[in-house]
Amino acid sequence: MRHHHSHAARAYSLIELTVSLAIVSILVTAIGSLIILASKAIPRDDGVFAASLGGAVLAEELIDDAAFALAFKQVSKTALEFTLADRTGDAAAETVRYAWSGTPGHPLTRTINGSSPIVVLPDVRALEFTATMRSGSVFLGGDQSSSAKQLQAYDAALPLTQQVTNSNWFGFYVPPPTNAGATGWRITRVRLKMLRSGSSGGTGDVQLRKPKADGKPGSTVYASATFREDDFGLLASWQTFNLDSGAVPAGQGICIVIRGTAGSNASGVGYFSSLGVPPGTVGMATTNSGNTWTTYGSTSALHEVDGIVYTTDEGIVARDYVESLNVRIRAGAAMTAIEKTIKPLNRPEILD
C-alpha cells in the first residue's frame, strides 16, 4: 500500500498574525519618528535653525576680524569700529564698522572704509558688544635718560624662602626712580631668585601691577609672564622675566607680584629681611589670592629690576587697551543667543 504525504504549507494562526501586525506597527512608527527628526535637522532658509546658524557664522567672522585689530575707535553695546592692517594693497589701514540700531528686527550692518553699509545679518533681536579694558600709559616724547639699565637690585647669600601657591602670593613694591627731572619710567625686565618647592608640576606667573594709594597691588596688570616649577632647581637661582610695564608717571611705583596658578606649591621665592633692602621697597604677602595684603618692613624678594627713566617735558599720557572682546547676538526666531569671546593679538588701544 502506498502512503501519500501532504506537502501543503501550514497556515498562520490568528495569534501569530496579530503579533506580527503589532511588531510591524511599532517599526513603522519608529521609522516615521526618525524621518520627522531627520527632516527637522535639515537646514532651511528660515526658522530657528537658519537664525542660529546665521548668528554663529556672523559672530565667528566678526571675532576673527577683531582679533587682528590694530586699534579700536568705538566699542559700545551696539557698535564696534576698529582698524586692520592693509588688505587692499594701498598701504593704508582698513577701517571696519559693525553697527545695529538697537531696535529688534533691524539688521546688523558692516561698513568698510566709510563705504555704504552692507547688511550682514537681518532681523537681529538682541546684540551686545562688551570689552574688558586694561589701563596703561604711553610716552609721547623722544628723550630718555638712557637705554634700559638696572634700576635697583637686592641679593643675599643665604636667603629665606617663601612658598607660592594658588592663594599664597608674594610681592614687593618698587618705588619710582629719583632721577632729577624724571617725568616717567618703565620696567623692562625683572630677575628673581626662585626654586622648586614641593611636588613637581606647579605653575605660576610674575605680574607687574599698578599699586593702590597704600602701595599695595591693585587690580590693574601692566604685564605678566608665566613660569613652570619644573624649570627651577632645588636651590634658589636667578630667573629672568621679560616684562614691560609701559611708561608710568614719575612719582608712581610698581608692584611685582609672584603668584601660583596650579599645583599645591607652585614655586619658592627667595627673600630676606635686612637693612640692605633698597629704600622705599616694601615686601608683602597675601593668603587669600590678593584680597588683602600684609606688608613687612625692610623685607623684599631677591631681585634685579631693569628699566628706562624718561626726562622729557612732554610727559606721559594714559591710555586704555582692549584686553578681551565679547559679542553676544540673537537673530530671527532663534531662542538662544550666540556668544563669542577673543583676546586681540595686538593689544589694541582705544582711540579717543
Q: What is the pLDDT of residue 49?
A: 43
d(CA 326, CA 336): 16
Q: What is the pLDDT of residue 236?
A: 85
Q: Which of 137, 130, 134, 135 is nearest to 342 (CA)?
A: 130
Q: pLDDT tens digits for 62-108? A: 888 888 999 999 989 999 999 998 888 888 899 999 999 999 999 99
Q: Which of 229, 302, 215 is nearest to 260 (CA)?
A: 229
Backbone angles phi, psi at 141, to 5 degrees: -90, 180
Q: Which residues of the chain have pLDDT under 70?
A: 1-14, 16-17, 19, 22, 30, 32-34, 36-56, 136-146, 198-199, 263-275, 312-318, 334-335, 352
d(CA 340, CA 80): 14
The burial class, CB within 10 Å (0-12 / 13-18 / 19+), for 44 is exposed
Instruction: Provide CB contacts within 8 A for 48, sequence distance 6+.
Output: 332, 333, 334, 335
Q: How many alpha carbons lie under 13 Å from residue 83 in its C-beta half-sphere?
A: 13
Instruction: Encode burial over 81-104: b for 16+ CB neighbours within 10 A, e otherwise.
Output: bbbbeeeeeeeeebbbbbbbeeee
Asked if residues 140 and 317 have their Cβ atoms less than 8 Å apart, the reply is yes
Instruction: Provide CB contacts within 8 A for 208, sequence distance 6+.
Output: 187, 190, 221, 222, 223, 224, 243, 245, 254, 255, 256, 257
For cell 634685579, what's the residue? 304
DSSP 144: B
Q: What is the pLDDT of residue 47?
A: 47
Q: What is the pLDDT of residue 197?
A: 78
- Please report the domains of the chain, with CATH numbers, ordered by start residue: 47-137+321-350 (no CATH), 141-314 (2.60.120)
Asked if residues 118 and 110 have their Cβ atoms less than 8 Å apart, the reply is yes
Q: What is the pTM of this model?
A: 0.55
- C-alpha distances out from residue 16 to 9, 10, 23, 137, Å: 15, 12, 11, 87
